[in-house]
Structures are given as structure tokens and as C-alpha cells.
Structure 1
């Protein structure tokens, strides 16, 4: 190694040199730091509030829901900003010379510093990107406030996709947090113990005078070590089951032998072979779609020659089986469906053939309220097979659902119900 030679403090420029960071790299560095200092606490407090909303202690206060939505929206918006900033920072770094370490003789320390840098750069991209994909795959409230980013190409609205990337996001966030802590500890060690210019050459202002050093090249070793750490982190996430859909409430734990939540076996002269019972609400201006996984229909139907009575139908629905994206647990709460007290809903109606189409005219009971309801539907009869499609809107307030939320901007009164089923004549 050549003897160190003192170099005068250079004039600050936009470009990096082998000894100093330029002004552009410094701006990217400190902008990234500020964004991380904002994103981390926002994510923590938003998640903590979400856990409270999902708990039995939550009183259904709309102010709490609005605060959670604002925190999540701000977290997502700044997270997307962090992602774009990290990409620009990496592109700039690739176009610039990298300042050499000030203590090249400390090979292990230099290697570890480079590994931490690889982990940091990777996490800065992976953590917000996985969070963005999780947002795009989830139907729910708390939108991103940028005029773009609500959805992503090739990312379907899917509970499985949302769960997988939610788990990945959690892992990458913690990897970023640990890498950041190690990076800060290293900078403080250089400043307090070594008393060198490692930290000062990243600070704004004129570049400090440093000694010319011989570069130490570790080749691909730091990157390979970082990749090995990533593999271990991802494998650990799989072992913990972080990529699988998680329970969203009582529906996921319902015992098939529990008659309080399981609809009775169907009877009648038609048997449902397949179908969906879907629900659509509008929360914070965004549609949230879901469906009931457990329901049974008892259908007695005979096609009349002329308009008039055609039979009866009774649909029994297991309320805890509702899957309503990110607000499932909230919907089960006492101010909404109150599924622990009212585990079933029942629609009983007379089927009428009209001059054009059909209608099921009867009542819908949800919670302790029974309300008249007419469900128009179309019916395609092909011998002993039938395909039925119908939809209707109801007012949630008629059923005492969400009485604590009287602001339609937060939660619309109208709730859409859609039924699609295929049935076969019983033999």
C-alpha cells in the first residue's frame, strides 16, 4: 500500500469522486433518511390502531376509523415516494464512482459494511414495492394519495396475493430496520471511536479533507453474503407461514357441527349446485367487495304457464362466513353485523313470475330487524337445470348496521347484494 497523502478539501460538486460524495448523492441519502424516519412510525401507529379496531374493545367510533385510514394512506403515499426515491438513488449510484473506505486495512469491517449496504439498497426497493403490491391486491379503504398507484398491471384483487406480499412486506421492513440500525451504528462508530471523516463526507456542505487510500475490492463476496441472508430471511418467513392467508374472524374457525353458524341442510325440489352470494359496500369513496362462504337455499319452484306465483325460497346465511377484504373483522363487530349475537341472516320470499323476468318478494332478517325486500332476477331454465342471476340494494341503517357511522362519505348507506347460482331439479 502506498503511504497516505493528505489531500486538500475539494470544492463540492454534483459528482462523486473516489474520496467524496457529490451533492446529488448527499441529497438522495438524506431524503431517503427523512422518508424512512416518517414511514416507520406511521406504519407502526397505523398497524397498532388497526389491531385495536379488530379487537373486542373497539367501540365502533368513526373518528378512530378515519384516523386509521389517514395514517395508512399517509404511510402508503410516503412509502411509494421512498420506493421511487430509492430507485433514482440506485440509478445515480450506478453512474458514479464509489468513494473508497477510509480504513482499507480493516478488511472484515469493510466487507461487513458493504454487506449492510447491499441489504439496505435491496430493502429500500423490496419493502415499499411489496407493500405497494399488497395494496393493489387488496380491496379496501386507505387509498394512496398520489394520482397513480391504486392498482398495478398484472396484480389481481386476490386474498392469496395480498397475503403473500403482506408477509413479504413485513419481512423486508424488518430487514430494512435491522440494516438501517447497523448502518447508523457503523456511522456513529466512525464518528465517535475512529474520529475519521466517514460520516462528515456525507454531511451537507464542503467535503472534509481525507487521506488518499488504496481501494479494496471484495468482488462479488458482499453481494453473495447479502443474497444468502435474503434466502434465510425468506425461508424463515415461509416456515412461519407468513405468506398464507390469515384468519379474518369467526368465519375461519366455524365448526361445521355448530348449528348457530352453519345453515341448515337444504330441502325443496331444486338443489343449488354452485353459486355466490356477494356483498358490496362503499367505504371512504372506494368499493369494497366480499362474499359469504356459507349459505343454503331451500327452493320450491314450478314454472307457471302465465305470470303469477311460482314457488317459495328461503336462504339462510352464516354471517361469520363473510369475507370482506381488509374490513372483515370490523364488519363482524357489535356496531355492524354483531355476528356473535346474530350469527345468521334469513331471506324468505314468494317467487313470482312477471311478464318480463321474475321477482322474489319477501323479507330479509339481519340482526334483530326484518325488512321487506323484493329481489328481481333473471332465470334461464334448461330442462332440469336452472341459472339464476339477481341483484338488489338495501339500506344498512334499516338493519341497524353501522348506526355509529352516519357520514356517507365514510360509509355509504347503500349496500349491494348480488346472487348468482346454478341449481338442478331434485330427483
Structure 2
């Protein structure tokens, strides 16, 4: 069978691209739907869900690369014309579906890839080329835009595939012509009229895709992402002697899921800090920190992390850390108690502190064991979800009252 297309037949390479692309797209759709609806109540179920998503993403990228090659090949060929060009409405619908499919074969997997690269979460792509994309930042805005385009594009893709299949069946069963047979692996020629280039169908398809991308953009805020700042301190708590005001800071966390690090942060928290540069009775002061658990963002697994099997944000919306600030060999240590998810555990937070006049900069890091707070008890395997959760804390505070102990 000739490799190239002619006005009477599709070549062997075009047919191979057609059926290979169809196989990959249908496989990716099936895997995506299966993964989306898979349970994750246990470690085994979560591992299965992650595996399904990983295969879905990998097959999707294979479909994207195959589609690109198919399109590049198609535009270099003289394709056969329609068997019934006199049916103008049918011809327009066929050309429109053709261009919508070309767009969907590129935009749907590409938007899924961008979403994967812009966020953090489980289910890596199963290849050795990394999980990021050039020029795609880790950004919730980019992730939300790509997710919206991916979903809407999927609807267009699914609808166009159904229309394409219905049209092929109509030609085979009702018209009884050679439209479908031209794409089957056989050598016969199927004479047709010379193909015509129609500008309206590709323009209409381009308008549809432009509308989808524009809708995704309008539904996503493009304002610059806010700096990672602590919430304004709450009204004075029991520690009315607080003499430092938090101006900005971050409360970030990192956990290992299926061997990949997933990072996020709490957007809303406040700290009441009493600190004296000169220690009294071995203590430099006291800190009380409240964290809004529902303010957590953790990439693509945010909803899962806030659910009842993990942080249980609805039942336990606040974490509280109260501690004395003590001197350490290097820097300081906040030694106290963390109340989280209905449990209390002793906690030591080592940190460094630099004071320049009335401005203080603090950096600290510690690792919690999620099992101490019954987080993810249904996932007992550390290979599925790491036991250790690393917290990285930094803040800048200003002095609000003179230090009477200095």
C-alpha cells in the first residue's frame, strides 16, 4: 500500500496515524473516567487511583505527540475529496468536525499536561523526562485555567468523536458508500471529486477553541498571586503582653506521596508573640499560633488532605501551638504543645532569629509524624504516604512595645 495520500485513497501512514490516535484518545478517556471515580479510602485504593491517573497522563501525552505528528503529516498531503460534495450542509459538518477533532487532539492533552506541571500532587507521568514543562510555573492560576480548558475541551472532544462515529456509521449503513472503507487497510482506490479548500470550517473551529480558552481565562482570576503572608493577628488572646506584631510570613508543608514530594501552605494563620532579648528565668518569652486548617492549599490533593480521613478540616478547623521561647545551642527553641485534629502532642520548634532594630526575621523547620495526630490512619504504608510531614516557617515581625527586660 502506498505511503502517501492521493485524491483517490488515504496512504498507509495516514491510516496508521488515524487508528493509533483513536486508540490512544479512547484509552486516555476511559482511564481518566475510571481514575476520577476510583475510591481512595485505603492505602491500596489510593495506590490504584494514583496508578490509573499516572497511566491516564502518560497515555494522554502519547496521544498528544501522535496527534502532532498526524497533523504535520496531514497538512503535507493531498487528501481525498468528499464522495458527496453536493451535500453542502453535510460537507460543512464533516469539515467542521475534522477541524474540531484536530484542535481537541492537541488542546485537551496539552491542557492536562500544563495542569500537571503547574500544580503539585500525586500520580506522576510514567517517563524519565521530568514532571515540569518549560515556561509553566507552579501556579494555582495557571493550574485552574488549564483544568477548565481541559474539562471543556474534553466535552468538545467527546461530542465530536460521537458525531464522527455517527457520520461514519451513516455512510456505511444508510448511504452505503465508501467513506468508511477508505480508512480501512485495503489497497482499492475510491474515486472522488477533487478536494476543495474551505476556509469557513477551520475558522469556525478556531472560534470554538478561542471561546473555550477565553471562558477559562475569564473564570480564572489573573490578578498577581498574593504574597505568602500571615493573616492579620487576631485580637489579643490570653497573652496580653505580646510585644511583636507579625507583618508577613509563610507556613509551608511538604509530604511524600508515592515517592514524590507534594508541597503546599496554609494561607491564614496568626501569632501572638512575647519576646525579650534578655532571658528571665531561662525564658525569652512565649508564642501562641493559631492556624486555619481549611486555608491549606496542597496542589491537586487539597480536597483529599482536608477530608475526614486526613486533616478533617470541617470537624477540626483550627490548630493551636503554644510554647515557651527558650535559648538553644544555636538560636532558639519554641517548646510547647501542638493541638491538631483533636489530639495534643509535645512539640519543639528550633529556629533562628535576627533582630535589626525593631524588626525581627525568624526561620524554623521541623518534621511531624502524621500518625501522632491520626492523620491518614487508613494508609499504613509509608511508600504510599510518608509518615513525616515537614513544616517550614518564616516570618517578619515588628516590635510594638519597648522591651522592659533589655
Fold in common (TM above 0.5): yes
Distance in 2 (CA, whole Å) between partners of 1:238 and 1:384 is 43
Distance in 2 (CA, whole Å) between partners of 1:103 and 1:128 is 33
**Aligned equivalent of 2:295:** 321
**TM-score under structure 2 length normalisation:** 0.90
**Aligned equivalent of 1:385:** 359
Query: 358, 371, 380: which one pairs with 1:406?
Result: 380
Contact 1:191 1:199 survives alignment (8 Å): yes
Query: 224, 228, 238: which one pairs with 2:203?
Result: 224
Query: 328, 331, 335: which one pairs with 1:361?
Result: 335
**TM-score under structure 1 length normalisation:** 0.86
SS of residue in 2 equivalent to 1:326 = coil
Correspondence 1:6-405 to 2 at 5 A: 12-49=1-38, 60-207=41-188, 209-211=189-191, 213-235=192-214, 237=216, 241=219, 243=220, 265=236, 267=240, 268-304=242-278, 308-405=282-379
Name structure 1 gaps, 5 residues minimum: 1-11, 54-59, 246-255, 257-261
SS of residue in 2 equivalent to 1:409 = coil
Deviation at 1:271, TM superposition (A): 0.8
Deviation per CA, 1:361-404: give whole Å up to 9, x if none. 22222123222221111111011110001001111112221222
Deviation per CA, 1:236-259: give whole Å up to 9, x if none. 5567x3x459xxxxxxxxxx9xxx
SS of residue in 1 equivalent to 2:29 = helix
Contact 2:145 2:217 survives alignment (8 Å): no
- Closer, same or farther in 2 for the Cα pair 1:134/1:15, shift >3 Å? same
Deviation at 1:112, TM superposition (A): 2.0
Contact 2:291 2:318 survives alignment (8 Å): yes
Distance in 2 (CA, whole Å) between partners of 1:324 and 1:349 is 27
Contact 1:263 1:318 survives alignment (8 Å): no
- Closer, same or farther in 2 for the Cα pair 1:118/1:410, shift >3 Å? same
Deviation per CA, 1:243-279: give whole Å up to 9, x if none. 459xxxxxxxxxx9xxxxx966565011101111111
Contact 2:103 2:209 survives alignment (8 Å): no
Distance in 1 (CA, whole Å) between partners of 2:51 and 2:205 is 35
**Aligned equivalent of 1:56:** none
Residues matched between the structures, number: 389
What is the CA RMSD across the aligned residues, in angstroms?
A: 2.2
Distance in 1 (CA, whole Å) between partners of 2:197 and 2:204 is 11
Distance in 1 (CA, whole Å) between partners of 2:279 and 2:385 is 44
Distance in 1 (CA, whole Å) between partners of 2:128 and 2:114 is 16
Name structure 2 gaps, 5 residues minimum: 223-230, 402-406
SS of residue in 2 equivalent to 1:169 = helix
Deviation per CA, 1:157-198: give whole Å up to 9, x if none. 111110010000111111111111111111111111221111
Deviation at 1:101, TM superposition (A): 1.3
Deviation at 1:334, TM superposition (A): 2.4
**Aligned equivalent of 2:228:** none
Deviates more, 1:147-156 or 1:347-356: 347-356
Distance in 1 (CA, whole Å) between partners of 2:207 and 2:9 is 30
Deviates more, 1:338-347 or 1:227-236: 227-236
Deviates more, 1:214-223 or 1:371-380: 214-223
- Closer, same or farther in 2 for the Cα pair 1:185/1:342, shift >3 Å? same
